[in-house]
Amino acid sequence: MVFLRSLVAALGFIIAPVTAVFTAAQLASSIDGLSTIAQGLQPTANSITVLNAPLIVVGLGPYPVCCPAPANS
């Protein structure tokens, strides 16, 4: 129980300064944007089955594995 209290307190210390930087309208538009993106991902999430889920984990499923290209230095 102590861990949960500490976690909530830590989240409060992290979230309060972050939300103070943005206006209410900016936060609302960000949440709207995230919900739109999440709704767009629903068909993809619904297509995951018990048969192809393990394949997705190892990178052999129906979705390509995306690896960022190394930076040229």
User: What pLDDT shows up at residue 72?
Assistant: 66
Which of 63, 59, 69 lies closest to 48, judged by CA? Answer: 63
User: What pLDDT shows up at residue 73?
Assistant: 53
Token duo for residue 19: 């939300």
This prediction has a pTM of 0.47
* Average pLDDT, consecutive stretches of 10 residues, N- to C-terminus, the chain (73 residues): 76 75 83 91 86 82 69 61
